[in-house]
C-alpha cells in the first residue's frame, strides 16, 4: 500500500514500507526519452556557434537525413522500449561507459576534490581528523539506517539510491570494466588511516562494549599512528597501485594477492576496502589555495587509496575530501561534507568526553602486506607513471572578489549564467572563438538519474562576446547588457531542459548504443560537427558552499580545461586544471572578463538612471 502525501507535488507519493530516505523512490518518474525532433533541433542550435557556415550547412543536411530516416525512428522506438523495461534506460550504460569501463587512472581523470574552510579551533592533524570523523559518523548512521531525509528541489524529491555508495564501499579494478562492492557497516565499523604510505585500522567503537569512541579518544589513536609511523615513509607504497591505469592495477592487485599464500594481503585489502572511509594524514603543510588544492587532488600519489572516498588532513590542521566518482556524483558528497563542517562550526555534534583512558583504547593495528621483488617493481612502475602524469598538469585558483551572486541578482541575471558567460568571454580572448563547454546538470529528479550536459556555448553567448570585443564601434553598455541578458536567458533555458533530461547528449548517446550489428552508423555521428560539439574544451561544474575554500577536478580532453567553480555572495572562485595549456593566462582572462562584466552592468545601470532624470 502506498499512501499519498498532501505536501508533495502531483504524481509523487510515499511508500510506508520503505525506509524514510527511500520513501519516494517508487514514485519518482522514470528518465524520459526526449522527442527526436526536439533533440535534433537543439543539437543544430548548439552546433551553429562552433562551426563554419559551410560545416553547419552539411550538418543541417545530415540531421535532416537522420530525422527522416526509418533507422532513426527504429532507434527511437528501441529506446522507448528499453525505457519501459528498465528503471532507467541510461543508468547501466552510463555507469559503465563513463566510469567503470574507463581505463585511465581515476586520479586526475575521474576523482574530484573539496578543500575545507580552515578550522581555527583545531590546528593539529590528529585533532582536526578526529573532529571530522566524529562528525561523519552521525551522517553515516542516518544513511545506513535509511533515516536521512531525502533531498528535494522545489518540493520534488530526488533519487537517493546513490547514497548507498557513500560509506563502506569500494571500486575494484576489473577487466574490461570495474565493479563496486558494498560492505556491511556493522561488521566493518572502522576506518583506515594512511600515514607515511602505511595503513592502520582504527575501530570507531569499543569492540567489547560497543561504545562509540569520543573525538578525544580518536585523536589519541591518530596521535599514536603519527608517532608509530615515524619520519620515514614506507619504501613500497601499496596505495600507489591505485593511481594507475585500471588494467595495470587489476593485474597488480592479482599479483599482490598471489604474493601472500597465507591470505594476509587479501585480508589487508579487504579491511581497507570495507572501511567506512579512508583518512589520509599527510605530512605536508599547504598554505595557499593552489597548494592545498593540488595536494588534495593528487597528493604525492603514495599516501592514498584512490578507489575509495577519503578525507585528507595536513600537518597544519587544514583538510579536504577526495571523491571517488564512479557510483555517485558530487551533490551527495557535498551534502556529507556540509553536514560534517556545519555541525562542527555550529557545535551540533557531541564530541564526547575530553578525558581519555589510554589503557582502554585498542592498540594501533597496522595493515601490512607481504611484498616480493615483483610487487616492488609493480609499485615503482606505478609511481613513475603517476609522477609523469601529474608533472604534465598544472592547477590555478582564481578567487575573484569583485562580485558574487548578490551583485548578479541585483542586476537581474542568473549567477550561474553569469559565471558561464564570463568563461565564454575569457575563452574568446584567448582563442578568438567560443569554447565547447560542458556544464553538469543533475537529473536526480528521475529514478537512478545522474547528469545531463548543459551546452553552455550558444549563438547568444557568441554574439555577446563578439560585441564585447568589438573595437570598431563605440560600445553602448545598455545594448551590451541586453545581449548579455539574452545569452543568460538562453543558458537558464538550456539548464532547465538538462535538469528535465531533455538535453542533447544523453539522448544521442542512447540512440547510438542501440545500433544492431550490420546497421550502418548514421551520418550524424560521423559528421565532424558531432565530435567537435562534444569535444569538451571547457568541462565546467558548479558546487557552492560557505564551508569550502575550493574544489575541482581534471580536464576531460587533452587540449581542454577542468573548471570547477563556486559562487558566493560576493565572490566567484574557479579552479583551473589542464595539461599546462596556459592555465595562468585563462586565470588572467577570467578575472579580466569578470571585471568587464561588472563594469558593463554598472555602466548600463548608471546610463538608465541618468536617462530617467531627464
Closest by alpha carbon to 254, among 324, 170, 181, 174? Answer: 174
* Residue 582: Cβ-neighbour burial (10 angstroms; 0-12, 13-18, 19+): middle
* Residue whose grid cell is 520534488: 156
- Under a CB-based contact definition with an 8 Å cutoff, are residues 10 and 472 in contact? no
Residue from 116, 168, 309, 325 carrying the catalytic annotation: 325
Distance CA 128, CA 122 (A): 5
DSSP 520: P
Q: What are phi and psi of 190, to 5 degrees?
A: -150, 165
Sheet holding 572-578, edge to edge: 394-400, 572-578, 561-567, 538-542, 437-442, 451-455
List 279's β-bridge partners, or say none.
193, 311
Closest C-alpha among 199, 318, 327 to residue 268 = 199
Q: In 3D, which of 575, 579, 581 has the Cα closest to residue 112?
A: 575
CA gap 302, 373 in Å, rounded: 18
End-to-end Cα distance, the chain: 68
Active site residue 507: no
Residues 508, 483: Cα–Cα separation, whole Å? 30
The residue whose grid cell reads 589519541 is: 220
Report the DSSP beta bridge partners of residue 116: 548
Q: Are residues 554 and 325 in contact, defined by beta-carbon separation less than 8 angstroms?
A: no
Q: Per DSSP, what are the bridge partners of residue 169?
A: 182
Q: Which three cell numbers stand for residue 107?
A: 586520479
Q: Rounded distance, CA 157 to CA 324, Å?
A: 24
Q: In degrees rounded to 5, what are phi and psi of residue 553?
A: -170, 180
Q: By 3-state DSSP, what share of the chain in percent is helix, strand and coil, each rounded to 5?
A: 50, 15, 35
Residue 252 burial class via C-beta count within 10 angstroms: exposed 0-12, middle 13-18, buried 19 and up:
buried
Q: What are phi and psi of 138, to 5 degrees?
A: -60, -35
If one counts every other C-beta atom within 10 angstroms of the C-beta of residue 134, the result is 25
Distances (CA, A) of 378 to 88, 234, 391, 450, 602: 40, 15, 20, 35, 59
Q: What are the cell numbers at 524?
A: 550524424
Could you give the CA distance from residue 224 to residue 228 in angstroms, rounded to a whole number?
A: 6
Grid cell of 8 as nine digits = 508533495
Q: Enumerate the active-site residues.
A: 325
Amino acid at each position: 500500500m502506498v499512501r499519498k502525501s498532501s505536501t508533495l507535488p502531483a504524481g509523487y507519493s510515499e511508500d510506508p514500507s520503505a525506509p524514510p530516505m527511500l520513501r519516494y523512490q517508487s514514485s519518482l518518474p522514470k528518465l524520459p526519452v526526449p522527442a527526436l525532433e526536439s533533440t535534433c533541433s537543439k543539437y543544430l542550435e548548439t552546433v551553429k556557434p562552433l562551426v563554419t557556415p559551410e560545416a553547419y550547412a552539411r550538418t543541417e543536411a545530415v540531421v535532416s537525413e537522420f530525422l527522416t530516416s526509418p533507422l532513426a525512428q527504429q532507434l527511437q522506438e528501441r529506446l522507448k522500449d528499453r525505457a519501459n523495461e528498465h528503471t532507467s534506460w541510461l543508468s547501466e550504460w552510463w555507469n559503465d561507459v563513463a566510469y567503470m569501463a574507463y581505463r585511465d587512472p581515476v586520479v586526475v581523470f575521474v576523482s574530484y576534490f573539496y578543500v575545507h574552510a580552515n578550522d581555527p579551533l583545531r590546528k593539529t592533524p590528529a585533532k582536526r581528523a578526529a573532529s571530522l570523523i566524529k562528525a561523519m559518523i552521525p551522517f553515516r548512521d542516518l544513511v545506513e539506517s535509511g533515516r536521512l531525509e531525502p533531498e528535494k528541489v522545489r518540493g520534488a524529491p530526488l533519487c537517493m539510491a546513490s547514497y548507498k555508495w557513500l560509506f563502506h564501499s569500494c571500486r575494484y579494478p576489473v577487466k574490461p570494466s570495474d565493479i563496486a562492492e558494498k560492505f556491511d557497516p556493522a561488521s566493518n565499523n572502522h576506518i583506515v588511516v594512511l600515514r607515511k604510505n602505511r595503513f592502520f585500522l582504527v575501530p570507531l567503537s569499543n569492540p567489547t562494549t560497543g561504545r562509540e569512541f569520543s573525538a578525544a579518544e580518536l585523536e589519541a589513536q591518530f596521535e599514536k599512528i603519527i608517532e608509530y609511523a615515524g619520519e620515514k615513509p614506507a619504501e613500497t607504497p601499496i596505495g600507489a597501485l591505485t593511481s594507475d591505469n585500471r588494467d595495470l592495477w587489476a593485474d597488480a592487485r592479482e599479483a599482490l594477492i598471489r604474493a601472500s599464500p597465507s591470505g594476509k594481503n587479501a585480508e589487508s585489502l579487504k579491511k581497507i576496502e570495507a572501511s567506512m572511509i579512508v583518512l589520509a594524514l599527510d605530512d605536508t603543510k599547504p598554505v595557499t589555495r593552489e597548494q592545498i588544492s593540488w595536494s588534495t587532488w593528487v597528493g604525492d600519489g603514495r599516501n592514498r587509496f584512490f578507489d575509495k572516498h577519503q578525507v585528507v588532513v595536513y600537518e597544519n590542521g587544514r583538510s579536504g575530501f577526495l571523491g571517488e566518482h564512479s557510483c555517485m556524483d558530487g551533490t551527495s558528497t557535498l551534502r556529507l561534507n556540509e553536514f560534517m563542517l556545519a555541525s562542527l562550526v555550529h557545535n551540533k555534534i557531541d564530541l564526547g568526553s575530553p578525558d581519555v583512558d589510554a589503557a582502554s583504547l585498542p592498540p594501533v593495528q597496522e595493515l601490512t602486506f607481504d611484498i616480493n621483488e615483483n610487487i616492488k617493481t609493480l609499485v615503482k612502475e606505478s609511481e613513475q607513471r603517476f609522477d609523469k602524469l601529474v608533472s604534465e598538469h598544472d592547477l590555478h585558483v582564481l578567487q575573484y572578489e569583485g562580485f558574487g551572486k548578490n551583485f548578479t541578482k541585483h542586476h537581474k541575471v542568473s549567477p550561474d549564467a553569469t559565471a558561464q558567460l564570463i568563461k565564454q568571454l575569457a575563452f574568446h580572448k584567448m582563442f578568438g572563438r567560443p569554447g565547447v563547454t560542458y556544464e553538469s546538470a543533475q537529473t536526480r529528479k528521475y529514478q537512478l538519474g545522474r547528469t545531463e550536459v548543459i551546452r553552455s556555448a550558444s549563438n547568444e553567448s557568441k554574439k555577446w562576446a563578439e560585441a564585447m570585443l568589438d573595437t570598431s564601434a563605440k560600445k553602448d553598455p545598455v545594448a551590451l547588457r541586453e545581449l548579455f541578458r539574452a545569452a543568460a536567458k538562453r543558458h537558464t533555458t538550456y539548464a532547465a531542459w538538462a535538469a528535465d533530461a531533455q538535453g542533447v547528449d544523453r539522448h544521442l548517446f542512447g540512440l547510438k548504443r542501440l545500433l544492431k550489428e550490420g546497421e550502418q552508423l548514421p551520418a550524424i555521428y560521423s559528421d565532424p560537427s558531432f565530435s567537435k560539439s562534444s569535444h569538451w574544451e571547457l568541462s565546467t561544474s558548479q558546487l557552492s558552499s560557505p564551508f569550502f575554500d575550493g574544489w575541482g577536478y581534471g580536464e576531460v580532453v587533452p587540449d581542454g580545461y577542468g573548471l570547477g567553480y563556486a559562487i558566493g555572495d560576493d565572490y566567484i572562485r574557479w579552479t583551473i586544471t589542464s595539461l599546462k595549456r596556459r592555465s595562468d593566462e585563462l586565470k588572467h582572462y577570467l578575472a579580466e572578463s569578470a571585471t568587464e562584466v561588472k563594469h558593463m552592468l554598472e555602466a548600463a545601470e548608471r546610463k538608465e538612471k541618468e536617462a530617467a532624470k531627464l
